Chains A and B, each alone.
Chain A
């Protein structure tokens, strides 16, 4: 730890560049974080923050004591882990496939079209999904029936419901997720490909040895950040698609807390849950950061 005056002087502008953002973040993010104390209080909006009714860990106990809490945590983790995996692979594959398209117009059209569903809210998409998956009149089951299979109640069977969530989530988001990788692809040095062609490498080898390593930093970044979502199942989607028949497999932390909040605005309990989720995200992202640094010698941020 040697102090290097020259480097210090040279870095002053760097500090100054960060300063304005730092101030904004302190005002609009760190100061409100003081509000997290209500997780340890019996908070009522009217008493506000002036009057503190400390309740210790009561809100956390309340959460853990909810019957079926474990099941809900498991559902959340199961759904979100599958979503994380899908969210990492599907957009990358789509980007690679698009990268192989040589007709510019076709490529741009496909790109624009697959990006569209991102702009529809789950309220709207859920209505469409219920129709498409209907056992009697839905498109998917008509195809199944055409192949002589029994129709499936995708949204009413616990063995299917989580997968429906993952697939429809990708349907909505993969096109948007692809953008990031398409941008990353542009930064790969084209001369590498030219050299590979001269060496006689086929497209497959080029993809494996040049393209994928080229977008690896972004993939690791996305993976690490998405690890933070391990306790988010996707409220809007689940809320609009689930029903009591699939509570067993589809009820997640956020929908559970929502139903509790409907009864009474439970700020303290929902803040307690939020805090738990934040801590878990923090741990996972920290872990991802550490592993990437330890094994790949790469600081993701």
Chain B
């Protein structure tokens, strides 16, 4: 396809080696977690586990599979992601499209843009946010996790830049056909924006999957926690320090803060998000956009 110079061939070889090394570095944490989850508690406590299980056992997974809270939080997170990502996508597209217009044709766009960007920078903080959610009657509802962040400003900015990169002829052609704004957006812009849609989808998906603080503040009981909140509370529980006083605290912590169990839960919690990535990756294909337009 391309004529390859010797230098470029060498570059290619080095590139493969370099990327492989990078990938191995990035693989380290997950291999470590996996090894810990399959090791005995005693080996983990003595720091003997790095990349391979020591005293192999499945007990942490067995323990976890009958843990209703963990499994339940998976379901909550699933629901949250479906609702949250849908809502995020709708608002991203609806806001990014008008803002991608030139100021000459849509004068108010710059004011709108700053109104949205301002909310990225200034926040009222924990208590006022809670009060608003409470007054809106959303406490303990899945919507408390979806609506306050319904308009993902960063995604909007990203999307509007992608929209701007689309050839002007597209829009003009649509107008010639008598299409309105909504139709132009739906049947002309969106079909050629799959890579950018995949990107913002991934960002909101990851955001919703990882968010934990709102779950803790807005949900009434652990039965309604999303996965990230559940994991967070589990990890925080294990906080031992010299200041701890009672024997009962020490006893409880020693029984509930098993690191192999934690590791298995952490591992299982990132499996779904890792599994989804390859699906979205399919849309990152070079030249998909303009090629299809011109073709």
Q: Are chains A and B native binding partners rather than an unrelated pairing? A: yes
**Pair B106/A11 contact, Cβ less than 8 Å:** yes
Residues of A within 8 A of B (CB): 7, 11, 13-15, 17-18, 20-22, 24-25, 27-36, 38, 45, 49, 94, 97-102, 106, 108-121, 123-125, 128, 131-132, 171, 175-176, 179-180, 182-191, 197, 202-203, 217-218, 221, 225, 228, 267, 270-271, 274-275, 278, 281-282, 285, 299-301
Chain A residues within 8 Å of B99, by CB: 18, 301
Q: In the docked arrangement, what's the CA distance between A267 and B157, Å? A: 31
Bound-state Cα–Cα, A274 to B122, Å: 8
With the chains together, A125 CA to B32 CA distance in Å?
10
- Can you identify 5 A-B contacts, CB atoms within 8 angstroms? A32-B129, A36-B124, A102-B12, A120-B29, A217-B161
Q: C-beta contact mask, B210-240 vs A, less than 8 Å → 1, else 0?
A: 1000000000000000000000100100000
If A29-B119, A182-B284 touch, whether A119 touches B274 (CB-CB below 8 Å) is yes
Give the contacting residue for A187; candidates B116, B132, B162, B210; CB below 8 A: B162
Q: Which of A36, A184, A270 has the most CB of B within 10 A?
A: A184
Alpha-carbon gap, A104 to B294, bound state (A): 24
Name B's interface SS.
helix
Q: Which residues of B contact A28 (CB under 8 A)?
A: 129, 132-133, 147-150
Known: A20-B94, A32-B125. A221 touches B195 (CB 8 A): no
With A21-B91, A25-B119, A278-B121 in contact, is A114–B26 under 8 Å at CB?
A: yes
A186→B195 contact, CB < 8 A: yes
Contact with A along B145-158 (1 / 0, CB 8 A): 00111110010011
Closest Cβ neighbor of B24 among chain A residues: A113
Name the prevailing secondary structure of the A interface residues.
helix
Residue contact B122 to A13, C-beta cutoff 8 Å: no
**19 other A-B residue contacts (CB within 8 Å) besides A25-B116, A36-B124, A300-B157:** A24-B151, A25-B115, A27-B136, A28-B132, A28-B133, A108-B278, A110-B20, A114-B22, A119-B273, A128-B28, A171-B26, A187-B162, A189-B290, A191-B294, A203-B2, A217-B161, A267-B125, A285-B121, A301-B161
- Select from chain B the residue with minimum beta-carbon distance to A275: B122
A14 with B123: CB separation less than 8 A: no
Chain B residues closer than 8 Å to A274, beta-carbon distance: 123, 125
Bits for B266-295, please: 1 = Cβ < 8 Å to A, else 0.
100010011001100100111111110010
- Given contacts A21-B91, A218-B161, is CB(A190)–CB(B286) below 8 Å? yes
**Please, how many angstroms separate the alpha-carbon atoms of A38 and B126 in the complex?**
12
Interface centre among A28, A186, A191, A197 (most CB of B within 10 A): A186
Given contacts A18-B98, A186-B288, contact A97 B18 (CB under 8 A): yes
